[in-house]
Chains A and B, each alone.
Chain A
């Protein structure tokens, strides 16, 4: 019975990794689609919302089933607790990707900025954090999440900087208000996605060590 349980738990873990990677791809693809004005790519991201939801529900149900059937303890219990938190965070990240992708069509006819904003850089930092969280979960290794507090500080600083800069653009030139407002939302979604990556890291830390930490 325990072999069956551990085989099912391993499958659940692998499928959680696949789901989190889908969410991460939705986020990075959405930012690319936005800057390249690639409406086909944006549409593809939006179409992934349904499969992402279905994966979340199925993973959740399988986790509950394992709890009900096997009453896991110690590390096994912590892996399942971590999976339940990971999929919630990953689904939020994927949905932010979908929201950013939806902006692509609205920005097509809007005047561009003279000065580029560091949104792409911010997206790279956040997706890097998500990748490292997932790799850390997969290999049960804390190395890649060690620097998350300072990495999250950088993402927060970029969000504040983009917010301030965009306000200036809007005050200088009212024709940029639409684009600016969308950019503020994109930056905010990326900042939130960074926070979700931190939540993943906190739960991975608990899964590996049994100790709770808070990444501020």
Chain B
């Protein structure tokens, strides 16, 4: 295993009731890389993403076998603090979902839950997170306004700032741009490129051009299996597997 592996899954299987949604998936996510997961709807890419911070635990009748290691520790080991895991492995969802609170409170919420009460420290975290999410200049004068008044693209960047505020190591993004217009999408894509200097990003996307633009490594999933995983350039220029080739050239079905 490469030394800079931050998350690895080994022979991971997941069932929703009888449905075998992930079948023997093994993958290694490298630190400070952007990894994209692509594949048709229902192939298991979001399910895999949600395994990395145990979000699937919240769904009934889910059974998981295999192993997932984050920072060399098994995340399913007894005694794992799931709240801490989700702090270290944050998540940004498909649809921007800010809390019905002010811009400031949205970002300060996480640090408060994790015990930061000092106002000055909270101010510092809010500004730093909003700056990292490339949103500060647009909202610095409206920190007390409702977050619901922001545009869709701004709301999504606010959600990224909210994730950054608790100091994660990995950011999981599940179709973060699918509800956004092209300009807002470009802003998020630029942001992903900047974020990888400090964080590891794993992104699920339907948009193959986006996967090709933003990621360093890419994995193609089909019917619960990880068909091919490699450097993005190789996957999009000359994939090894015919299935991958057929999918990315639109010859599917």
Contact = CB atoms under 8 A, between A and B. Distances in A.
Given A209-B238, A210-B237, A210-B238, A74 B248 contact: yes
A72 interface: yes
A73 B236 contact: yes
Contacts of B244: 74
Interface string B213-253: 00000000000000000000000111100001100111100
Interface residues of B, number: 13
A2 B249 CA distance: 8
The CB with the most chain A CB atoms within 10 A, among B208, B212, B250, is that of B250
Contact of B208 (A5, A73, A78): A73
A5 B248 contact: no
A185 interface: no
B19 interface: no
Question: Which of A71, A75, A209, A211 has most B Cβ within 10 Å?
Answer: A75
B48 to A, nearest CB: 22
B249 A72 contact: yes
Chain B interface helix/strand/loop/mixed? helix
Given A74-B237, A75-B245, 6 more contacts: A2-B249, A2-B250, A6-B250, A73-B248, A73-B249, A75-B249
A78 B238 contact: yes
A71 B248 CA distance: 11
Interface in A1-24: 1-2, 5-6
B238 A2 contact: no
A5 B245 CA distance: 15
Contact of A5 (B209, B237, B239, B250): B250
Contacts of B248: 73-74
Interface size class of A (residues with CB under 8 A): 10 to 19
Interface in A143-202: none
Contacts of B209: 71
A5 B250 CA distance: 9
A74 B230 CA distance: 14
A46 B244 CA distance: 47
A141 B237 CA distance: 19
In the complex, the 7 A-B pairs of residues with the closest C-beta atoms, listed nearest first? A210-B238, A2-B250, A76-B249, A73-B236, A73-B248, A74-B248, A74-B245
B158 to A, nearest CB: 30
Given A71-B209, A73-B208, A74-B245, A2 B251 contact: yes
6 contacts: A73-B208, A73-B236, A74-B245, A75-B249, A78-B237, A210-B238
A48 to B, nearest CB: 35
Interface string A51-83: 000000000000000000001111111100000
A102 to B, nearest CB: 42
A2 B252 CA distance: 10
A74 B250 contact: no
Contacts of A75: 238, 245, 249
Contact of B237 (A6, A71, A77): A77
A71 B251 CA distance: 14
Contacts of B208: 73
Nearest to B245: A74
Contacts of B245: 74-75
B251 A6 contact: yes
A190 B237 CA distance: 34
Contacts of A210: 237-238
